Structure 1
């Protein structure tokens, strides 16, 4: 696995970097060259105190297969609102959002929910783990909710947790894990049902620079092994160098 960051000589960082690479899947469905998702002329506004607040103002973007794309900007710039639209959690006032062959801007809530369960994984800044469940049980729960056959759970949970470097910590509960380890569990949860797109909202915001670097290294690894596209928000300039493409947002618009 490529070393994307220069770290101090800590045993944890080095041990993780030197794990053997996992064979890349050759799934033809992930080898398409056309955009995985396109956003065209998207506007989103909200009514606040009887007045209209324009949050997104004519967004144009695309996500290509097997890329790591970052939405960069300050709090309030519209990053999270755009991420919610991309993930089908919200709909635009104007414009089009197309994910694969699905038109999210025309789909019902139920239709978007079914697509998310199969094709999209979410990673949140707060990790969003069940506190009384072990890492193994948290990932298993994600498979249960996605409707994956029970016969596949054991092998898939083990694979995902080992892929993020938690092979020896998979039976620990969140309070027994560090912040970086909890975020790795969240990543394992997000990829468990084999989505084609991962959406991550400030995944390194609660981590120090070294842990943040390790999480980005995990992202690069799972992109290759699981054939996944990742779109994430950030305001951390130290991690931008690993992105395939960066969209900078200011006041609801992209700037060059």
Structure 2
């Protein structure tokens, strides 16, 4: 379950932004005026789950991608039992979740304090509306290079809990190699979710072709396996050709 998302320099979102998505488990709606960033959230999730090309904020053209460091970091509510208890992944997920559930506004700098407060306020709603005792709350995503990102949760607290006591006093966050130790956790989460984004302006002819990922997800894995055995690629191309005609 995706409860929120941190976006950094993606489409309409400049800097770090936290966008609450839901604090319930059945339904979510994004409501707002045109241009406020609703489709940016949906498109960011499409990039994250389906490998689509990132639509970066225009300021990246001026400042450069290495300066702006775009990120897509969803916040997941995941059943604890998807990880083997006692495993390294379980331990890391537990540490990250405890941090997300316990982080306070004091952990943020001036530029991110308002967004952390928004997360904390949303977190209170999640805890009030859902029984989170059997879940991990995991803010985990990727940056523009495909490396793991934990957004504003990559803090000194995480460093001290994850690494041994010999760490340097001035080490306030994990480096890229240390962050990528969370990769197996993200791989597990991605396997739990099938995400389909159908933008309003999408060409129906493109979307309804049998070989598109969206159609294959809608058909279901079992049906897709059956069709793959019975219908060849050449036949699918011929079907699409005739449909277009």
Question: How does the TM-score come out when normalised to structure 2?
Answer: 0.30
Q: Which has the higher contact order (CA 8 A, sep 6+)?
A: 1
Instruction: Give the number of the structure whose residues are more often strand, by fraction.
Output: 1
Question: How does the TM-score come out when normalised to structure 1?
Answer: 0.29
Larger Rg: 2
